[in-house]
Amino acid sequence: MIVRPRRLRRNATLRNLVAETAVRPESLVYPMFVVEGAGRKEEIASMPGQFRFSVDALLEELESCVALGIRAILLFGIPDRKDETASAAYDEDGIVQRAVRAVKAKFPELCVVTDVCLCEYTSHGHCGLLRGNDVDNDPTLELLAKTAVSHARAGADMVAPSDMMDGRVAAIRAALDAAGFQEIPIMAYSAKFASAYYGPFRDAADSAPKFGDRKSYQMDVRNGREAMRETALDLSEGADIVMVKPGLAFLDLVRRTAGTSPVPVAVYNVSGEYAMVKAAAQAGWIDGDAVIRENLIAFRRAGADVIITYHAKEALEKGLLR
Ligand code: PBG
Ligand code: ZN
């Protein structure tokens, strides 16, 4: 036998010498949930190790995150009051707006990305305005744009629309520019699927739709070509980063997107993916840390430039990126 691939696997030094993939700490984005009140740090039942923080507790938590090397966070707000028109989403004094101001004042170097959607703020839990039982696309755009501008005004470094309305990137870009925020990038949830993997997030954010589902706006999980079309549309509307979400079951699309995208590609390692790893690890059925490492490396190997993951902090803490 002349060819023996095992020669380069004989010890860790050789394996490290030829390893093709590592995840850079700078590529990670840590999603965090912020709630009203003070002194609150409540663990999310279906996401062990993840919490809802009041603003003061969030600032405290960020001390250790920043010390470990977290460079970017993605903020989700959970308001006390929800209504039909999601008015708390674009309130200048809303929970996310206040959190962004406080975080940027204390950690000016930290990249603060905000999720732009209405589902955490609507009483019905849908991502846009209702007309009858349908989510009404065009009037929703105005509210999304208002929300994005209010986030930018609070000091957000980047906005990330996750609603999947048609034309939202263009609407948000135009509104940001008109308000003087030409330099604020948009990370578009471009290929976002109507996935069962968002379950734990909806517990965390209390944002499950009160009736029906999100299949009339989020994508059908059976469609890859349509994902490429959504991504192309977002690019034509000015998206600065495009995203595939969820991650693990959609790595084919991360690869396809990375192969053609002229802008950086993000992947969202979503709440259900996190919950499955944690549950199996707690049961003693898998080695959780090793699985986290494999998953994060898989995202990078598939071509993701930016990895949004609830594992970000523990991955840095435990050195799981290579
Ligand atoms: C809001 C939003 C959701 C997620 C990110 N932004 C939930 C949804 O679309 O129902 C999911 C994130 C996760 O599961 O970790 N639209
Ligand atoms: Zn939503």
- Over residues 145-188, the pLDDT tens digits come to 999 999 999 999 999 999 999 999 999 999 999 999 999 999 99
The pair of three-digit structure tokens given for residue 253, joined into one six-digit string: 């699309």
Exposure on the CB side of residue 40, measured as CA atoms within 13 A: 14
The three-class DSSP label of residue 6 is helix
What is the tens place of the pLDDT at every residue in 30-80? 999 999 999 999 999 999 999 999 999 999 999 999 999 999 999 999 999
Q: Are 316 and 69 in contact (CB under 8 A)?
A: yes
Provide the percentage of residues in the chain whose pLDDT is more than 70.
100
Determine the Cα–Cα distance for residues 219 and 230; give it in Å rounded to an integer.
9
Ligand 1 atom with the smallest distance to the CA of 310 is 15
CB atoms under 10 Å from CB of 130, counted, come to 17
The pLDDT score that the predictor gives to residue 182 is: 98
Whether 309 lines ligand 1, by a CB cut-off of 6 Å, is no
The pLDDT score that the predictor gives to residue 290 is: 98
The angle that helices 251-260 and 288-302 make with each other, rounded to 10 degrees, is 30
Ligand whose nearest atom lies closest to the CA of 86: 2
Domain ranges across the chain: 21-241
Ligand 1 atom with the smallest distance to the CA of 218 is 9
pLDDT-derived band at 257, boundaries 50, 70, 90: very high
Determine the Cα–Cα distance for residues 312 and 30; give it in Å rounded to an integer.
6
pLDDT-derived band at 130, boundaries 50, 70, 90: very high
What is the tens place of the pLDDT at every residue in 279-298? 999 999 999 999 999 999 99
Which residues are annotated as catalytic? 192, 245
Q: Which residues fall within 8 angstroms of residue 130, CB to CB, at 6 or more apart?
A: 84, 124, 136
The pLDDT score that the predictor gives to residue 20 is: 98
Q: Outline where DSSP puts E strands in 120-214.
A: 130-131, 134-135, 158-161, 187-192
Whether 160 lines ligand 1, by a CB cut-off of 6 Å, is no
The pair of three-digit structure tokens given for residue 54, joined into one six-digit string: 């009041």
CB atoms under 10 Å from CB of 307, counted, come to 24
The pLDDT score that the predictor gives to residue 270 is: 98
The pair of three-digit structure tokens given for residue 293, joined into one six-digit string: 């490492």
Ligand whose nearest atom lies closest to the CA of 214: 1
Whether 117 lines ligand 1, by a CB cut-off of 6 Å, is yes
Q: Is 241 exposed, middle or buried (0-12, 13-18, 19+ CB in 10 A)?
A: buried
The pLDDT score that the predictor gives to residue 109 is: 98
The pLDDT score that the predictor gives to residue 285 is: 98
CATH fold for domain 21-241: TIM Barrel (3.20.20)
Whether 202 lines ligand 1, by a CB cut-off of 6 Å, is yes
Ligand 1 atom with the smallest distance to the CA of 197 is 14
Q: How far is the CA of 35 from the centre of ligand 2 (A)?
A: 17
Whether 198 lines ligand 1, by a CB cut-off of 6 Å, is yes
DSSP 5: G
Chain mean pLDDT for the chain: 98
Q: How far is the CA of 74 from the centre of ligand 1 (A)?
A: 12
Decide the pairing of beta strands 265-269 and 241-245: parallel
Whether 190 lines ligand 1, by a CB cut-off of 6 Å, is no
Distances (CA, A) of 282 to 164, 208, 278, 287: 34, 26, 6, 9
C-alpha angle 312/313/314, rounded to 5°?
A: 95
The pLDDT score that the predictor gives to residue 207 is: 93
The three-class DSSP label of residue 191 is strand
The pLDDT score that the predictor gives to residue 115 is: 98
Q: What residue's CA is closest to ligand 1, atom 14?
A: 198
The pLDDT score that the predictor gives to residue 49 is: 98
In single-letter form, the type of residue at position 72 comes to A
